[in-house]
Amino acid sequence: MSHDDTIIQQFSLQAKPFAEVPGHSDALQLLIQCSGAVQSDVVLDVACGPGLVACAFAEHVAHVTGIDITPKMIDQAITRQQDKNLQNVTWQIGTVLPLPFPDAEFSIVVTRYSFHHMLDPMAVLLEMVRVCRPGGKVLVVDAVLPAEKVAAYNQMEKLRDPSHTRALSVEEMSRMVHASGLRHIRTAHYTVEMELETQLAASFPNPGDDEKIRQLVTADIGHDSLGVGARRVGSEIHFAYPVLITVGEKVAE
């Protein structure tokens, strides 16, 4: 299969459970606050998944477009939009290279939890910058780790989700965003708390890999080589994804 096929396969399975995992609704208001969104903004949500980010923005802006490669994710997004009775959101099934939109179409362009699936995240970022208006904001939100913990983290996440390519280090994300031409760059951090078995139940690893993940995470308690702070809470194992919000402004040429 191509990498896009792997993403579609995985997220067709994950579409409903992804939308229901409580941690995936965390920090939406922080994201909107970091964007500086106002009522007149026109927003693009790249790799929008089940529409959590797009529908949150829609309550604050003029219009939101969500694009995702997985039809079942768009089905979940439409259901969320209908449940919230939002009239100012449209959805599109499509790839992100290239984005099927004209230059300078949107005042805010955002993507959340997608760059670790991209074979060429820099190319995706440049597309996001292209479709952003001068003076507009581009936001990349993803799990980002210290360089010394990226390899171990990637090992765990590739077992959990075969469509994972690699997480970026803090330094890589910074270099990439600066190289894109964005300016006035700001960052914010939050964590997404997870219970191991709940996360595994919402994932679809290859047969036997769920047990490998349990062993990796359990062995990491007290060490944190994975960068997720694994710990016991009663009979459960909890951990937290470290998430970085990076915001940059597209300046006029």
SS3 165: coil
pTM for this prediction: 0.94
C-alpha to C-alpha distance for 197 and 16, rounded to whole angstroms: 17
Mean pLDDT for the stretch of residues 73-79: 95
Cis peptide bond upstream of 205, omega within 30: no
Q: In the chain, what is the straight-line distance between the N-terminal and C-terminal CA atoms, in Å?
A: 40
pLDDT interval class at 90 (50, 70, 90): very high
SS3 63: strand
pLDDT tens digits along 163-221: 999 999 999 999 999 999 999 999 999 999 999 999 998 899 999 999 999 999 999 99
Beta strands 89-93 and 106-112: pairing type? Answer: unpaired
Mean pLDDT for the stretch of residues 127-142: 98
- Dihedral sign for Cα 220, 225, 231, 236, please: negative
pLDDT (0 to 100) of residue 12: 80
DSSP codes of every residue in 3-32 = HHHHHHHHHHHHHHHHHH-GGGGTTHHHHH
Q: What is the mean pLDDT of the chain?
A: 94
pLDDT (0 to 100) of residue 21: 67
Q: Domain 3-144+165-192+242-249 - what CATH class?
A: alpha beta
Domain spans of the chain, in order of start: 3-144+165-192+242-249
pLDDT (0 to 100) of residue 23: 64
Is residue 47 within 8 Å of residue 117, measured between CB atoms? yes
User: Does the pLDDT of residue 22 top 70, yes or no?
Assistant: no
C-alpha to C-alpha distance for 29 and 56, rounded to whole angstroms: 8
